[in-house]
Structure 1
Amino acid sequence: MLDPKDCRDMPTLRDQIDALDRDLVHLLKKRMGYIDRAVEIKTDNGLPANIPARVEDVVAKVKAVAEKEQLDAELVETLWRQLIDWSITREAQVIRRD
């Protein structure tokens, strides 16, 4: 990967963004694998899909990383809350089927 400041033209810049997007999709797939496993464990242990304290813990952790990286913490919080909401919905659907 090139450093953004080393991108001299738009095609190069776009190629780098496209590569990052592919990496993000792979990371999301891996994260979803952990969510799927969480469903199994939660089902086996009678736990609900939504555990509010855990949601807030996750959000606080990613906001702290964002702040350390000088990234907009509100943006990161919004993205993660969407990701978490989607994950909880997915978990709840599977748990209801069991």
Structure 2
Amino acid sequence: MTLKPPQDIATMAELRQQIDQIDRELIALLATRQAHVDRAAELKPGEGMVARIEARVSEVLDRVAQSAQEAGFDPDLARGMWSQMIEAMIAREERVIGTGEE
């Protein structure tokens, strides 16, 4: 389904249909992201890396906020959403490779 610009939608039914489509596409992208994080958990030990790398977390959050700003999306909201997702993904990695703390 090709999405229409919101201003070209005349009914709530059509608007909801498009929002549902967007949600499906977002979930598919997030599943792909999760698969990449799972692969990171496999690769990091061989490269001497731990699950949580604070500099990388900051870099990703800054990049997301900038991208959100450029796209017309609230950068604080994006940063908060990604922060929650990143914490969940780090926890996922830590279940596989540990925390790196003794």
Instruction: Say whether the fold is shared (TM-score over 0.5).
Output: yes
What does 1:8-87 align with in structure 2 at a 5 Å threshold? Answer: 8-87=10-89
Residues in 2 aligned to 1:44 and 1:32: alpha-carbon distance in whole angstroms: 20
Q: CA deviation at 1:2?
A: 1.1
Higher helix share: 1
Q: CA deviation at 1:36?
A: 0.8
Residues in 2 aligned to 1:2 and 1:28: alpha-carbon distance in whole angstroms: 23
Residues in 2 aligned to 1:69 and 1:75: alpha-carbon distance in whole angstroms: 13
1:88 equivalent among 87, 90, 96 = 90
TM-score (norm 2): 0.90
RMSD between superposed Cα atoms in Å: 0.8
Residues in 1 aligned to 2:69 and 2:18: alpha-carbon distance in whole angstroms: 24
Q: CA deviation at 1:24?
A: 0.4
Q: CA deviation at 1:45?
A: 1.9
Alignment coverage as a number of residue pairs: 96
Stretches of 4+ moved more than 2 A in 1? none
